[in-house]
Copies of this chain bind each other. A is one copy, B any other.
Amino acid sequence: MPAGSAIDELRDALKRLPGIGPKSAQRMAFHLLERDRDGATMIAEALVRALSSVSHCSLCNNFSESEVCAICADQRRDQSLLCVVETPADLESIEQASAYRGVYFVLMGHLSPLDGIGPDQLSVNRLRRHVVERGIREVVLATNYTVEGEATADFIATTLADTDVSLSRLARGVPVGGELEYMDAATLGQAFTERRQLPRP
């Protein structure tokens, strides 16, 4: 790039963003430099601030700026009900649904031996200690219904088998608003297998 190495460096740095290739990185670099220098400053400052202040909640492992995050510190929530999710994004979605009032444990990933993510990387031992020491009554395994998510849920269930905690998994079936015509066979099959009995009218 004849324009000089500061742009090269910026372009290479932006390629570190997930899902951003060389062309997009170049477009971003040019856009920021030509049309949005304020935005570029904002991004740089927000990165520096987040890097220095964001760590993990010592209880639930979610991102937090304090030792214990707001959810774990909230005494109005059921502290004996624990929902295990793969990522902070999953936690966000559940919070937005407002359907859950217990606390969380964030694995920060799922079992993926090919990517070098085993039980140790997922702090499953820490989860186990958490469950035992804090008297958790029920663990809701809310990992994704993907192959890796299922394997992760199975593994956690095995790890917790010798405790007396009750285990559950999110219901599977037809999404709300879903049309049977467009549903895949596996989902329809599950929905039939796990159909629920209606009360007699």
Q: Which segment, of A31-39, A158-166, A169-177, faces chain B? A: A31-39
Render A86-130 as a binary contact track against B, CB cut-off 8 A, 1 for contact: 011100100100000000000010000000000000000000000
> Interface size class for chain A?
35 or more
Chain A 58-94 interface 0/1 with B at a Cβ cutoff of 8 Å (1 = within): 0000111110011100000000000000011100100
Contact call B47/A32, Cβ cutoff below 8 A: yes
Say yes or no: is A7 at the interface (Cβ < 8 Å to chain B): yes
Known A-B contacts A30-B88, A89-B26; A5 and B65 likewise in contact (beta carbons under 8 Å) = yes
Instruction: Determine whether the beta carbon of A49 is less than 8 Å from that of B9.
Output: yes
Say whether chain A's binding surface is mostly helix, strand, loop, or mixed: helix
Chain B residue at minimal CB-CB distance from A40:
B47
Q: Which residues of B contact A18 (CB under 8 A)?
A: 27-28, 31
